[in-house]
Amino acid sequence: MSEQTGREKKNVVVIGGGHGQSTICRGIKMIPDLNITAIVTVADDGGSTGRLRRQFHIPAMGDIRNVMISLAESETLLGSLMDYRFEDPNGEEKDIAGHNLGNLILTALTQQRGSFFEAVQTAGKVLNVKGTIIPATTQVITLFARMEDDVIVKGEANIPDRSNHIREVFYDVPVHATPQAVEAIREADLIIYGIGSVYTSILPNVIIPEIREALKETKAERVYFCNAMTQPGETDGFYLEDHVQALMDHGAPVDAVVYAMDQIPDSILKRYLAEGSTRVRIRDDEHTYRIVEKSLLDFRRQLIRHNATKIGTIVQELLKQR
């Protein structure tokens, strides 16, 4: 119970990775009477995260760092420093060049605490995050994709580079979920997938067997926040229905989809089209899940981005229906 309102707190679980998940977390962190749990993929193997992962044999922490910053109670100097990237004037990624300070802090804490999970919890306390951040697994994992022509691509960073359609993503070794992630899903009132790359941000969590089973058994409503634009190399030509089908094919039940109904300026659409990205549209008239159409987007600096405040409002509406 909330001491101030006397109302029972609602449990919201956000599953994903990347900047989209961070946007959702930023949008809901100020909702009163809410317990927030972010379950974050650790399958990333590119950039600073990939280098630290290979050197120290620890799970990827880049997406966790992003979510941590978004859930920080206030935009403090420490929060901004967590995202600081060291640059090399010669353009060479050696020593600390190219690394985020937050990634280095999480690496140091992992070595000090002897546990990646404990490192994440400790950093969260230092940043005073509003919620709980849980890595989907504490194993060092590599994501694979099987393409439509049966070519297998190894590594999350390499998957979007293929000019091919993805049939499925998988791991080549048994992967076990963090017990706290499974418990959070079972106790949730609302589960949110997204926003972000379906195959490389959301599904790396879902395909872990214990998480997939918990998603099937939970009594929570499972809501997918659909991308506004397709992603080259991942979801070329996808409609809303194709995104949802990819989730379902990998074992993620979907009860509702939140869709951005905003009119996107033609000038911006042309810019995205030049990069191989098109508007995600609704194809069918009938669905086994309900579709919630809302204004969700911002177009600052000629970019299409989901608005965190609008997301917070929609999540409050969804919770009132529970």
Domain boundaries, the chain: 10-41+136-320
Q: Could you tell me which CATH number the domain at 10-41+136-320 has?
A: 3.40.50.10680
Taking a C-beta distance cutoff of 8 angstroms, is the pair 152, 122 a contact? no
Tokens standing for residue 242: 């194709």
Q: Give me the half-sphere count of Cα atoms (radius 13 Å) on the Cβ side of residue 130.
A: 19
Taking a C-beta distance cutoff of 8 angstroms, is the pair 199, 44 a contact? no
pTM of the model: 0.92
Taking a C-beta distance cutoff of 8 angstroms, is the pair 149, 54 a contact? no
Is the omega angle on the peptide bond into residue 195 within 30 degrees of 0, that is, cis?
yes
DSSP run (H or E) holding 168: strand 166-170
Nearest in space to 288 (alpha carbons), one of 317, 262, 254, 322: 254
Residues with Cβ < 8 Å from 138, sequence gap 6 or more?
Answer: 42, 59, 115, 116, 117, 178
Total residues found in the chain within this entry: 322
Tokens standing for residue 65: 């760092």
> Digits of tens for pLDDT over the chain (322 positions)?
444 445 689 999 999 998 899 999 999 999 999 999 999 999 988 777 778 888 888 888 889 989 998 998 776 666 677 878 787 666 665 677 778 888 888 889 999 888 999 999 998 988 889 999 999 999 999 999 999 999 999 998 888 876 778 999 999 999 999 999 999 999 999 999 989 899 999 999 999 999 999 999 999 999 999 999 999 989 999 999 999 999 999 999 999 999 999 999 999 999 999 999 999 999 999 999 999 999 999 999 899 999 999 999 999 999 998 7
How far apart CA 137 and CA 186 sit, in angstroms, is: 17
